[in-house]
Amino acid sequence: MKTAFLFNFAKFIEWPPSSFATPQSPFTFCVLGQDPFGSILTDTLQGKVIRDRPLAVRRLKDKSEARSCQIVFVSSSESPHLPEIVETLRGGNVLLVGETNRFAASGGTIEFTLEDDRVRFAINTDAAGRSGLKFSSKLLALAKLVHDHI
């Protein structure tokens, strides 16, 4: 389910051309830390395209590698390092997504939550503004909107 959300986030958010190394560069989904998806993320995104760009999936060991990604899912294993991750990516056009408690309020962009046994999400509008990404009003309307509480 979260994999589908990640793909749909990519469809409802606009990245500036400078977010990509070249016009042919893939749209890159990255997982930072322990991978909770296994092969599901790669299998689901295989062969899909976002705005004429093929999708690529990378697993990262270090936060410094995340600047080359468009979406970075921050695993719960990395939650103690969230302030450093946010600072490392400051000024970059990277969508930071996580599922740990208070992820969005701590500077992440989108936080998955569970409400009534359904996956929902919160968007930190402060982090969204810092990322330089343009969020669709349709996506914002579906989210709980939060602000930094760093």
pLDDT score at 133: 94
Average pLDDT for the chain: 93
Report the percentage of the chain scoring pLDDT > 70. Answer: 99
* Terminal-residue alpha carbon distance, the chain: 29
Asked if pLDDT for residue 1 goes beyond 70, the answer is yes
Q: Are strands 49-50 and 53-60 parallel, antiparallel or unpaired?
A: antiparallel
- Mind listing the domains of the chain with CATH numbers? 2-15+25-145 (3.40.50)
- Residues 79-83: what's their mean pLDDT? 93
Asked if pLDDT for residue 83 goes beyond 90, the answer is yes
